[in-house]
């Protein structure tokens, strides 16, 4: 009887070992993200994939990761990919340098994306082989945005922790609502992030909301420039 139990136990151990071997990467990623979530550093692209999926489905587009743009066009716009130079360990995320310039017919003012339909910033300076990109993490950044499906007006105030200012006090604003571009300098409806938290300002005349962005800027290695937006 003991021999039978030992045999069964041995088979069970072998099956568990085989399953772990086959799915160890998935198990590792699960526990890694669980650990990072408790530490407050989980990959934000995982948290917002549903938001991206919703927008892609609404626009009849295929869902892609927050940093993937595999085609050279987006909603009829011509897109040019460029790699980001590193300033490690002195990263200044308000300004990025990319390896494309006048050699790729880039020009000042062109919108820059962090991924499919995700706004990052705009080109502010162009040389032969490089360009400077101002991101909305720059404290001087100001642009119009919409909040939520109702498209409530707001003003995006850039900085290390960007937020939306001047949201009407009577507007329904809550965590998780999408923040999209409403500024004429960029394609309408580009994603910026989602509402993280809301507070009243100026004696309750307005609301202000902190934004969660849709990508990890510190690991951003490639951006996409819209070359034919007017």
- Which tens digit of pLDDT belongs to each residue from 128-149? 999 999 999 999 999 999 999 9
Buried b (16+ CB within 10 A) or exposed e, 148-180: beeebebbbbbeeebbbbebeeeeebeeebbbb
* pLDDT of res. 143: 97
* pLDDT of res. 93: 81
* pLDDT of res. 65: 42
Asked if 96 and 223 count as a contact pair (C-beta separation under 8 A), the reply is yes
Cα separation, 140 vs 190, whole angstroms: 20
Cα separation, 115 vs 127, whole angstroms: 24
* pLDDT of res. 83: 96
pTM passes above 0.85: no
- Which tens digit of pLDDT belongs to each residue from 45-74? 333 344 444 444 444 433 344 444 544 667
* pLDDT of res. 218: 85
**Minimal CA–CA distance to 210: which of 161, 169, 173?**
161
Torsion of CA 45, 65, 156, 142, to 10 degrees: 130
Phi/psi of residue 83, each to 5°?
-90, 150
For the chain, which ranges sit under pLDDT 70? 1-73, 201-203
């Amino acid at each position: 009887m003991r021999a039978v139990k030992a045999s069964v136990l041995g088979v069970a151990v072998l099956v568990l070992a085989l399953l772990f071997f086959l799915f160890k990467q998935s198990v590792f990623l699960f526990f890694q993200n669980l650990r990072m979530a408790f530490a407050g550093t989980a990959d934000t692209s995982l948290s917002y994939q549903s938001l991206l999926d919703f927008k892609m489905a609404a626009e009849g587009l295929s869902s892609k990761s927050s940093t993937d743009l595999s085609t050279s066009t987006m909603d009829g716009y011509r897109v040019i990919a460029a790699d980001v130079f590193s300033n490690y360990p002195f990263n200044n995320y308000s300004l990025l340098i990319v390896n494309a310039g006048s050699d790729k017919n880039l020009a000042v003012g062109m919108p820059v994306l962090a991924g499919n339909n995700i706004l990052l910033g705009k080109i502010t300076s162009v040389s032969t082989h490089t360009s400077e990109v101002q991101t909305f993490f720059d404290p001087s950044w100001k642009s119009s945005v919409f909040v939520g499906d109702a498209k409530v007006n707001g003003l995006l105030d850039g900085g290390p922790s960007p937020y939306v200012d001047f949201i009407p006090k009577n507007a329904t604003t809550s965590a998780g609502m999408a923040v999209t571009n409403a500024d004429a300098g960029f394609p309408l409806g580009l994603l910026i992030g989602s509402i993280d938290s809301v507070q009243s300002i100026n004696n309750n005349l307005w609301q202000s909301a902190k934004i969660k962005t849709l990508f990890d800027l510190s690991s951003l290695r490639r951006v996409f420039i819209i070359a034919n937006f007017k």
